[in-house]
Amino acid sequence: MRVSSRFPIAVHTLLCITQFEHERKVTSTFIADSVNVNPVIIRKTLGELKAAGLARVDAGVGGAHLARPLSDITLLDILRAVEGPDAKLFGFHDNPNPACPVGHNIHAVLDGHLNATRHAFERELAGTTLADLKQRLSELTA
């Protein structure tokens, strides 16, 4: 049971950009050195953030930037950028037996609760923005 580490990697990537974009060129290699993963992973992550409208990347010359104000990027936006907008939080066994009353109704009985749980999960993530994280980071590095 795991939300992939691509999510914290994406958050880390965006924080690196906010922290350094005005003082140096923020390349995939620079970010990769902070995150401690391979630069290709950062390029893929940046590609997803770009597709989601959260980041811009200067092709050719290199360097990444935020595409929206910090306060307009939530943790949920970032999660959806890297996992896809309709990624499933819960797995489910395939083809429960329709001839058994339990198997026949298991989805009807459970799905609503699983969706409610996913909503609670997403609501919490939507309540935090990159501005909050940067604020906290400033306090820690002051």
Partner DNA sequence: ATAGGTGTAATATATTCAATTACAACGATC
Partner DNA sequence: GATCGTTGTAATTGAATATATTACACCTAT
**Distance of alpha carbon 27 from alpha carbon 74, whole angstroms:** 23
Q: Which two tokens stand for residue 7?
A: 């999510």
CA diameter of the chain: 65
Is 65 a binding residue for a copy of itself by CB under 8 A? The answer is no
Q: How far is the CB of 60 from DNA (least distance, A)?
A: 2
Q: Which of residues 111-130 bind a copy of itself (CB under 8 A)?
A: 113-114, 116-117, 119-121, 123-125, 128
Q: Which helix (H) or strand (E) holds 138?
A: helix 130-141
Task: For DNA, give the closer residue by CB, 2 or 140.
Answer: 2
Using an 8 Å Cβ cutoff, are 58 and 110 in contact? no
The burial class, CB within 10 Å (0-12 / 13-18 / 19+), for 10 is buried
Q: Can you tell me which of 91, 102, 108, 120 binds DNA, judged by CB under 7 A?
A: 91
Q: Which stretch binds a copy of itself (CB under 8 A): 52-60, 64-72, 88-96?
A: 88-96
Q: Where do contacts with DNA occur on this chain (CB under 7 A)?
A: 1, 4-6, 9, 25, 27-29, 37-41, 43-44, 46-47, 50, 57-64, 91, 93
